[in-house]
Amino acid sequence: MNGTFLQPRRVLSVRRVALLTTAIAGLGAAALVLAPNTPIHPFTGTAQAQNLTERVQQLPQRPVGFADIVEKVKPSVISVRVKIDRPANSGLSNDDNDLPFPPGSPFERFFKRFGIPNPPNMPQGNEVITGQGSGFFISSDGYAVTNNHVVQNAEKVQVTTDDGKAYTAKVIGTDPKTDLALIKIDGKDFPFVKLADTPPRVGDWVLAVGNPFGLGGTVTAGIVSARGRDIGAGPYDDFIQIDAPVNKGNSGGPTFDVDGNVIGVNTAIFSPSGGSVGIAFAIPAETVKTVVAQLRDKGTVTRGWIGVQIQTMTPEIADSMGLKQASGALVSEPQKNSPAAAAGIKSGDVITSVDGAPIHDARELARKIGTMAPGTTVKLGLIHDGQEKTLSLTLGTLPNEKQASNEPSQREVPDNDVPKLGLTLAPADKTGSAQTGVVVTAVADGGIAADHGFQVGDVILDVGGKPVSTPADVKKSLADAKSAGKRTVLFRVKSGDGTKFVALPLGNA
């Protein structure tokens, strides 16, 4: 309810990093970077000492603390409490209950004083779950931003302002794809803050204000650690990474720059324990502006749609297609009756630009098109059959997501092996899996195909740009590619409801 938590593949030495960061921060404005082997002279009135003094004086002045900024922005931040009525055995989880201390401990009693709900493993009947998050006003008439996962499925939303007043809020609209929500409190003259007009730079100071563990009005400081992070939360991931401590209950709260503008909305942390380890993620203000404007206007978000299944180019795929650079969004398949199909975009095309702006990967294309309104006419630069071309199309409206199924057929069929790749194949039209192509009936552990993500039930449609319908077709295409001196061969594969390209090294195949 109050945060998305990501489990790392490995745990780093946090203590050492924290101590190093503290030491560096403690140097403040007087920190100097000296060239290797530069002697340090005492302040004896020498020319070297005078030069050092001048260099210190030329460093930009930084605030001693953040009290003035906090005093300015903190009244705009709110605590968001929600109630969800559910059966005791519903199996639904509540992040607030995953507390980092055992039931019955002094810490449990302490945090319950601040509104944390019942701890885990306690007997419960029909229950009303209380969750907590954060938010902030963006207008004086009571519009406020928070996370979708904070208010999702809520029957009642209560807001507490910095001065302790409580209000009932109405959910105006939500956008699960970006995890944003807009709520409204009746009233006027609420203190509000502005969304930043320019993105932050890596290394800029930031302040996070929110309601961690129910402790309202908590302020933490740090820097922007990175930008453009993809954490697998959704198709439009473009998070700002910060190291200001963020914990459960900070979700939906703002991250400020030193001018008091909101540069992002806190939404997730990277943590092995559920507590802050100095890696948190915020939705950029640019995204917030676009989404909130639509939610305020019509309560929902509509996005532009080309109608293609895409994937990011890899060096192996680029090499198999004879391309010099692994850049752009590779079209796995245009969808039927889509703007892409109408414009003549084909499977294997590589989209390289939108309205003249370069596209580096599939994620960038999805984000860029998703920010455009349906009905917008765009110019797409692409590589078609090895040639560069430009075409125009009018964006459609992104339809509701389809439920994908990846269950292979269970019918018994004769097998045919491609041992060098670790695949066992059969004609798709004889398995009931598909009308065309060759279905994968077995994948050898540790084989080339397994290493590249092939699964039982996948349907191979093309090999080396040629349609295949039997295992013999696959073998012939592999042999032709090898005879042509190619190091990799490109497979077009249907997996579930999606289609993708996979470049397999030929080796001894």
424 & 477 share domain: yes
pLDDT of 398-426, one tens digit each? 886 433 223 333 333 344 566 678 888 88
Do the domain assignments include residue 323? yes
- pTM > 0.75: no
Q: What is the DSSP string of 296-344?
A: HHHSS---EE--EEEEE--HHHHHHTT-S---SEEEEEEPTTSHHHHHT
Final residue belonging to a domain, choices 240, 270, 301: 301
Final residue belonging to a domain, choices 240, 269, 301: 301
- Catalytic, out of 76, 134, 149, 495: 149
Q: Quickly list H helices, 117-195.
A: 148-151
364 & 482 share domain: no
450 & 496 share domain: yes
240 & 94 share domain: yes
Model pLDDT, residue 121: 46
- Catalytic, out of 179, 237, 257, 349: 179
240 & 348 share domain: no
**433 a catalytic residue:** no
Closest by Cα among 82, 81, 80, 135 to 254: 135
- Give the list of residues 6+ apart from residue 355 with CB closer than 8 angstroms, or none: 378, 379
Do the domain assignments include residue 45? no
Print the domain residue range for 438.
416-505
**452 a catalytic residue:** no
362 & 215 share domain: no
Model pLDDT, residue 86: 59
Do the domain assignments include residue 433? yes
Do the domain assignments include residue 53? no
Query: Rounded CA gap, 49 and 54, in Å?
Result: 9
321 & 358 share domain: yes
Query: H/E element holding 207?
Result: strand 205-210
Domain count, the chain: 3
Model pLDDT, residue 179: 93
Do the domain assignments include residue 33? no
Query: Rounded CA gap, 294 and 450, in Å?
Result: 44
93 & 120 share domain: yes
CB 468 within 8 A of CB 443: no
269 & 367 share domain: no
Query: Which CATH number belongs to the domain containing residue 161 in this structure?
Result: 2.40.10.120
439 & 459 share domain: yes
386 & 240 share domain: no
Do the domain assignments include residue 40? no
**384 a catalytic residue:** no
Helices (H) and strands (E) in the chain, counts: 11, 28
Query: Which CATH number belongs to the domain containing residue 436 in this structure?
Result: 2.30.42.10
- Catalytic, out of 76, 225, 251, 495: 251
Query: Rounded CA gap, 20 and 29, in Å?
Result: 17
Do the domain assignments include residue 496? yes
List the chain residues with pLDDT less than 50.
5-44, 90-102, 105-117, 119-124, 401-415
Final residue belonging to a domain, choices 269, 284, 301: 301
Task: Kindly give the pairing relationship between strand 156-160 and strand 239-242.
Answer: unpaired
Model pLDDT, residue 84: 78
177 & 261 share domain: yes
Token pair belonging to 302: 């509509």
Q: Could you give the angle at the alpha carbon of 18 between the alpha carbons of 14 and 22, nearest 5°?
A: 175
Do the domain assignments include residue 18? no
